Structures are given as C-alpha cells and as structure tokens.
Structure 1
C-alpha cells in the first residue's frame, strides 16, 4: 500500500465536503428570502375579512404644505383685556364675580365705598345751590355797570364769583362721572357713600384681585375682563425662520391637552423686533371661535410656508412597527379548500410631512410602483396585528 501524506488527506476531505457545502448553501439562502417574503404577507378567511371591514384605495398625489413648527399661546389684543379700577379708591362693599364668570356690557360687577364720596356730592349740590344767586348777582351788577351806576370793581367781583362757581360745578360733574355716579340721582338729592361699577363690554372675568372689605387704591386693578371674541394665537418664531413667514399664511394649531385636534388661524401680523430669546412674535387670527379657548393657553402650531404636490396616503393606512412605517397592499383573492382567502402584503414606506389626515410617503423599495398599489385605507392595524400574531405562533402568514 502506498503511503498517504497529510496533504493528501486534506485534499480528499475538501473534495468530499465541497459538493455537500454547495448543495446546502443555496437552498438555505432561498429559504430565508422566502420566509422574509412570507413574513410580510397576511391572509384572511372570509369570516375574518368580513369582520375586519377592509377598505381599498390608491396612493394619490396631493398638495401638502411645507410647515414651520413653532409654539405659542392664546392671547387677546390690549384693547380686549380691560382692567377694572376706581380712580379715587375705596373699600370693596360687594361683588359676586369669580374668574371665568361671563358678563355682558353694562352688567353689575362690584360696589366700592368711600366716605369721601359724600363730600364730593355735597360740594356739587352746594355749587348748584349757589348758581342761581351768583348768576342773578352777576347779571344785576352787569346792568348797573352798563348804566354807570355801579363801579367796575363790583361788576368784576360778581363776574368772577359766578364764573368760578360754574367752573367748580363742571369740575365736580366730571369727577362724579369719573367715579361712576349718576348726576341725575345726585341732583335729586340721592347721596351715597358707595358707587357701583358695571362691565364696559362683553366678555368673561379673567382674574379677580380683591375681596369684600379690602381697600383698593386708584392704581389697583379690582379685576380683569377679557373679550374672548378677539382671541388670537401669538407664536414665537426664531429669527432665522422669519423670512419664511408672511401675512396671510395658514396656521394649524392644537392645545397642549388635546394634540390630536387641529384648529386653523391665519397670519395677520409679523413682529418687527427680536426679543432676548432670539424670537419674533407672529400673530394669527382664528378662523372660528371656540368656547374652550382661553387666554394664556399653550399651543403647538405649524405655519404653512409653502406647498407642493406629493404622493400621499391616509394616516389611517400607515402603521408603525419596529421603528419603521408600513402600508398594506391587496395581492389577490384565491380559493383554498373551496373557501375564499384574501392575501395582503406589508410594504415599508418612508413617511414625510403630514396635513389634514394625509402624509407624504415614498417606497423603501424604489423598484415598486406607488400608483399601482391597491392600498388598504381601512383595516391596516387589524392586518398588522393578525400578521404579527401569526409570526409569534410560528407561522409565516395567517390563515
């Protein structure tokens, strides 16, 4: 027998193993590809299909705006936020107002008492009482002066006393009106140490700064009233983005406690100054009034700075799994064991900007045709749950 060297043994082993490796390697790769493809497919029986209420449509071209994401608050212009005060101060006698109370123009708000008010009314009535005497004396001295009977000094004294009294009367009338007294009642002898304050316009009480028995000075606000009909959104836009913003652009915004409900506004004013935080104020008029909007509420907003046509799918058709986005397409209806089955495939997409319930999409596989997809527009989440449950049970697709 010939001697067999170590190199000969290696050669013989390699010759025997190579066909086996070749025969095993190719089927394994094909099986993995098939399993991956099957893992993205879902089949429904007729009963499952009826229960799922699947709806089909197409990925369509839509015009979606390019948006600038910002934040801000609900606010009112200065002329719609009224502070209630009393020029001469006093003690709060009575009020029923609470923050949030809705009021109409002319409605009673608060009564304030000040003993000095009695003196003001007394001086006014005394001035009225002296008016007739001083007027008559002035006219008499004027007549005597014209007839050269009375001296000029007497005439001038009578004239000065009459005009000075008239000036005091007008001054006291203005003061009493400013405080809030009805001059006709005062002239009728109705003297009061308290005055009632009424709402200057429709709105709601935003804040109350006092209580019964508390003294409020001339500089103190008793309460604030806001006219909610003039609510607007006040947004903070970084200075670098301001060139993109212009009057008339559409604003979509949502409240912090309800991010899924979008409301609309329109840019009507872009600020001209940059604040310390490097932002510029942008104001937007509301498209519709909402009773649940209150001044000071935080909002998350998007300003539409442009628009372009994109391929878009309904948000309900896009599902998220494993950190990626997918849609389902209808493949076929087939018969198995005399029963109809409906086949669907999950396709990965890239999700772009969203607007009005639609989102821009592009296919992760560029070889596929977007327009040819029979898109599942309703029931995508049901298909996702069915497919992933089937995988966990060890099946490639669900039957």
Structure 2
C-alpha cells in the first residue's frame, strides 16, 4: 500500500505548483506597476524648458540673485583735471562724509587758470568803467562813436573771458569769489560728492592721474537693493509691490524682507532671463554688494 500512496502525493504536488507560481508572479507584477506609478512624475507636474533647461515645478516661486547698490547711491570719483597726487587720506573700506577732502593734486595748469580769472576780473573792472565813461562822453558829443564801440567790444570780450574762467573753476569745485580774499591755491582738492565707504582705490602718493581717470569709488549702503533673475514662465506670477523674503549666503538662516519695485522689460537673448529689482526693508551693516541672495515671493 505504501508504494501506491507516494506516487499519488507527488502527482497532487505537481498539479498545484504551476498555479501557485503564476499567482505569485502576478502579485509581484502588480506591486511593481503600483510603485512605478507612485514614484514617476506626471507630465503635468514637471516640465523642462527646452531652451534654458530650467525645470518648471508647479507653484515654484524662488529666485536667485545678488545685493546691489542703486545708481543714486554709488559714485565714481573721476578727476576733472590731471595732476600729481600730493596728499591722500584714503583706505579701502573707510567711511567718508560728503565734502571730505579725499586727495589733493598739483598741476601748473590749475595755477594758471586761477591767475587768468583774477587777471580778467581786474581788467573787467577797468574796461567796464571805461565803457561807461565813453557812453557819457558820447551823450555829450565829446567822443566819437568809434571809441564807444571799441570800448564796448573790449568790455564784452573781457566779460566772456572771465565767465569762462569762472565756469572752469566751478567744474573743479572752486568758488572763484574765494580767490579774491585768499589768493591762488597751489593744489586742487578732490572732495567726496556723497557719504559712504571707499572702494576700488586707484591712486597712491606721487602718481600722475590724467583728467577723467578714476581715483576711487564711494558706495552708500543705506539703501541696498536685491537684483534677481527670473524667466519668462515666471512673469504671470510677478507684480510690482509683491512682498519678498530672502536669505543671504553667509548670514545663516536669518530672513530678510523686501518689496519688488521693478521688473525688467527686456529678455536676455542667451538664457531667456529677466532682471527683477527689490528694495530691502531692513538695513544690516553686514550687507555687501555682490552677496549671493536666495529669495521667494511671499510674506511668510
């Protein structure tokens, strides 16, 4: 009897195994398809810009950029007249007040210009008096019209010459009236047009600087701005006046606030980007132009 039982059991096992294997395989395939469907992003939720390669994630509103100085708070100190640097009281990073003397220059032409003003001023006083005298004589018919006209021409010519000297001195920051009481100054003073921090110093003692050559730059950090980069796809979500939150690389997790004040009207041909400008609400002494910024629109 035992020899007949074992073959039957073997047959039963052989008949059950194919069904179990098929069921197990179907279950595994179903689980794999489910996992793939859950992890793979749909075409609606993830798009890639074919030109820039930027990923357009739904509801994404983060931007990168840098801290910048507004043009009204940035001054490049250039020389109206060339000369040799005689005195220099600057170091990069030092703070200077508006009107402070940054450097003094020596140039013989500066002395000549002052002399021309003083000479023309003195000559003008004489020619003006002579012209008025000729007018009086002409009315009394004691002088010819020719002398009157010559006197008038000399007076007007000297007047225009003095006015030219005054304009040149004013361009150099010199008040001509002060020369009458104080005399000729041997050196030209270069003064700060705004208050701020000195940067990009280009001079040293004894160096000759040509007219128009930069001496240094002054940056006023009291009104910092954020310059951000956006793309065409972001325009529909941007509006002047939108609040801004941003972080600065190197300043930890501190959150700063701002407001969007300008949206660029020209798209860059290379990367299809658009510039955004936002004013900064909080001023921080650690701010530096060029610091990297990561920002997003929103109040919180």
TM-score range normalised by the length of the shorter chain? 0.7 to 0.9
| Cα deviations by residue, 1:98-150 (Å, 9 ceiling, x for unpaired) | 22211112222111221111100111111122122211211111111222222
Q: 1:154 and 2:147 equivalent?
A: yes
- Tell me what 1:282 maps to: 276
Write 1 or 2 for the structure with the bigger share of strand.
1
| Cα deviations by residue, 1:221-254 (Å, 9 ceiling, x for unpaired) | 2111112112110111112212211011111111
Aligned with 1:209 (options 196, 202, 217): 202
Any stretches of 5+ residues in structure 2 without a counterpart? 15-58
Aligned with 2:234 (options 235, 238, 241): 241
Question: What is the CA distance between 1:286 and its match in structure 2?
Answer: 0.8
- Tell me what 1:186 maps to: 179
- Tell me what 1:10 maps to: 10
- Tell me what 1:374 maps to: none
Aligned with 2:288 (options 294, 304, 309): 294
- Tell me what 2:212 maps to: 219
TM-score, normalised with respect to structure 1: 0.60
Question: What is the CA distance between 1:185 and its match in structure 2?
Answer: 3.5
Which runs of structure 2 are paired with 1:317-328 in the superposition (5 Å)? none
CA contact under 8 A between 1:67 and 1:303: conserved in structure 2?
no
How many Å separate the matches in 2 of 1:161 and 1:83?
A: 42
- Tell me what 1:126 maps to: 119
The number of equivalent residue pairs is 255
Question: What is the CA distance between 1:266 and its match in structure 2?
Answer: 0.6
Any stretches of 5+ residues in structure 1 without a counterpart? 15-65, 305-354, 357-399
Closer/same/farther in 2, CA of residues 2 and 141 from structure 1, 3 Å limit: closer
- Tell me what 2:76 maps to: 83
- Tell me what 1:257 maps to: 250
Write 1 or 2 for the structure with the bigger share of helix.
2
Closer/same/farther in 2, CA of residues 4 and 94 from structure 1, 3 Å limit: same
Closer/same/farther in 2, CA of residues 2 and 163 from structure 1, 3 Å limit: closer
Higher radius of gyration, 1 or 2: 1
How many Å separate the matches in 1 of 2:203 and 2:195?
A: 21
TM-score, normalised with respect to structure 2: 0.78
